């Protein structure tokens, strides 16, 4: 049987920020409706559903509950809950594409939403992140997510003999991007000193190097090209890679080798190009150190040079490869368990030519996401036809 060609044909973001009165399920349904509508499909066309577990309002068998809420349970040929942390959206994009290519489904909907900002007490959301650390080898030491990233950051700074504030330049260009994106949650001016003198959370990471969580979500639809909108370019997944070298930092040795390089290598080898050949990059940026590690793993700057690279305009909209033109997790939105989905919807808008901060003539988008503590990695290349 010949393979079908798959394309991302519908995308939608919900409102973002503090959304009291909206549950995670409300936002998921809102995103799903809008994405199916954007794809120009009716509900009867959707025969695949993927989702990711939220921090607030997760059900056992989350995808099955979302399907029954949407009233599409019986028509689904495939439903699944992808639980790879921040890499879930890219993992789901790969799975959705393969479901369509192999004719198991014609239209796969992916939905991610969460309400960590107002859906529960702030302490409970912070606690939910802390509960992700290994219960046997990390929680007895009080390790939280931010402290785990801080250990990675300090090891990185020491390895490259960099000063404590070497990563403080990374959030600044992302805020500049957010300032001209009306949907971004954080749009106040931000300079490097603001970052450098913000409150220490877990050394060497300061408050403004950590992405703040908010409520919101997004969804996308992958169909075969014959079912796609005629007025939009086909957007195909042309290469991808996945990798992990550890899940918990306790199993990560000296923290110098994450799965980032391996995932990037697998994807770039499949693509047959260098990362610099993309037109726009959407890179997971939960913390300053996250973005630094990914920039270097993708070969966009030399090892140890990410801070300098960002400070010199390497991420800018007018640079050779704009990074996170929507503002990223650090300034656009980090929606808890849904974090990362907006990197995908932004990539699609860039390739459609409809983004708020449109990169001129963007035809190819490079995406890299990670979940956990630089644990699960996925790299993808999207191309507009």
Partner 1 sequence: MTDTAGVAGHADTAAREWWELLAQGRLCLQRCAGCGTAQHPPGPICRSCHRRDHLAFVDHDRRAQLVSATQVQQSPHPAFADRVPYWLMLVHLGCGAHTLALLPDPPAGVALAPGRTGTVQPGQVDGSPTLAFYPDTAVGAQTASETDTTADVDHGDTRAGAHHD
Q: What residues line the site for partner 1 (CB under 8 A)?
A: 123, 126-127, 129-130, 134-144, 147, 150-155, 158-159, 199-205, 249-255
To the nearest whole angstrom, how small is the minimum distance from the Cβ of residue 64 to partner 1? 25
Nearer to partner 1, 160 or 265 (CB): 160
Q: Which is nearer to partner 1, 206 or 240 (CB)?
A: 206
Q: How far is the CB of 144 from partner 1 (least distance, A)?
A: 6
Taking the complex as a whole, the smallest distance from the CB of residue 148 to partner 1 amounts, in Å, to 9
- In the complex with partner 1, the residue whose CB is nearer, 131 or 385, is 131
263-275 b/e (C-beta count within 10 Å ≥ 16 → b)? bbbbbbeebeeeb
**Considering beta carbons, is residue 154 or 225 the nearer one to partner 1?**
154
**Smallest distance from the beta carbon of 55 to partner 1, in angstroms?**
13
Residue 292 Cβ vs partner 1, minimum distance, rounded to whole Å: 15
Provide the minimum distance between the beta carbon of 216 and partner 1 in the complex, in angstroms, as a whole number.
Answer: 23
Whichever of 233 and 303 has its CB closer to partner 1, that residue is 303
Phi-psi group of 110: left, alpha or beta (phi > 0 → left; psi -120 to 50 → alpha; rest → beta): beta
For partner 1, the closer CB: 252 or 340: 252
Q: How far apart are CA 162 and CA 154, in angstroms?
A: 9
Find the helix packing angle between 288-297 and 145-159, rounded to 10°: 50
> 200 vs 385, which CB is nearer to partner 1?
200
User: Angle of helix 62-70 relative to helix 24-38, nearest 10 degrees?
Assistant: 60
Smallest gap from Cβ 129 to partner 1, in A, equals 8
Shortest separation between residue 126's beta carbon and partner 1, angstroms: 5
Residue with Cβ nearer partner 1 (35 or 152): 152
Q: Which is nearer to partner 1, 207 or 317 (CB)?
A: 207
Q: Are 216 and 116 in contact (CB under 8 A)?
A: no
- CA 116/CA 338 separation, integer angstroms: 10
Quote the least distance from Cβ 4 to partner 1, whole Å: 39
Q: Would you mind telling me the total number of residues written for the chain in this entry? A: 385
On whether the CB atoms of residues 32 and 109 are closer than 8 A, the answer is yes
CB of 102 to partner 1, least distance (A): 32
Q: Which is nearer to partner 1, 168 or 223 (CB)?
A: 168
């Amino acid at each position: 049987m010949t393979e079908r060609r798959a394309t991302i044909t519908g995308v939608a973001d919900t409102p973002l920020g503090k959304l009291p009165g909206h549950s995670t399920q409300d936002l998921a349904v809102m995103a799903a409706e809008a994405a199916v509508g954007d794809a120009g499909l009716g509900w009867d066309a959707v025969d695949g559903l993927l989702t990711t577990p939220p921090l607030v309002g997760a059900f056992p068998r989350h995808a099955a509950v979302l399907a029954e809420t949407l009233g599409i349970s019986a028509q689904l040929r495939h439903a699944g809950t992808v639980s790879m942390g921040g890499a879930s959206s890219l993992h789901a994009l790969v799975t959705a594409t393969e479901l369509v290519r192999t004719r198991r489904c014609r239209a796969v909907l992916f939905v991610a939403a969460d309400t960590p900002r107002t859906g529960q007490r702030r302490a409970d959301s912070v606690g939910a992140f802390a509960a992700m650390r290994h219960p046997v080898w990390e929680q007895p030491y009080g390790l939280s997510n931010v402290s785990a990233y801080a250990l990675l950051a300090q090891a990185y700074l020491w390895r490259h003999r960099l000063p404590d504030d070497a990563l403080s330049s990374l959030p600044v260009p992302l805020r500049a991007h957010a300032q001209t994106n009306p949907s971004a949650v954080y749009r106040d001016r931000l300079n490097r000193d603001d970052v450098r003198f913000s409150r220490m959370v877990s050394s060497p990471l300061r408050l403004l190097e950590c992405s703040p969580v908010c409520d919101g979500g997004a969804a996308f639809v992958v169909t075969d090209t014959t079912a796609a909108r005629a007025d939009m370019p086909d957007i195909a997944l042309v290469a991808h890679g996945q990798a992990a070298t550890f899940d918990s930092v306790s199993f990560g040795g000296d923290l110098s080798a994450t799965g980032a390089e391996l995932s990037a290598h697998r994807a770039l080898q499949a693509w047959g190009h260098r990362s610099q050949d993309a037109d726009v990059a959407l890179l997971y940026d939960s913390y300053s150190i996250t973005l630094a590690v990914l920039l270097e793993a993708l070969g966009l700057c030399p090892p140890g040079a990410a801070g300098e690279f960002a400070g010199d305009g390497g991420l800018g909209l007018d640079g050779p490869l704009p990074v996170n033109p929507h503002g990223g997790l650090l300034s656009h939105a980090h929606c808890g368990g849904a974090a990362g989905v907006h990197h995908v919807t932004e990539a699609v808008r860039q390739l459609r030519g409809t983004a708020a901060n449109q990169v001129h003539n963007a035809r190819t988008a490079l995406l890299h996401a990670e979940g956990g503590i630089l644990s699960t990695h996925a790299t993808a290349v999207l191309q507009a036809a």
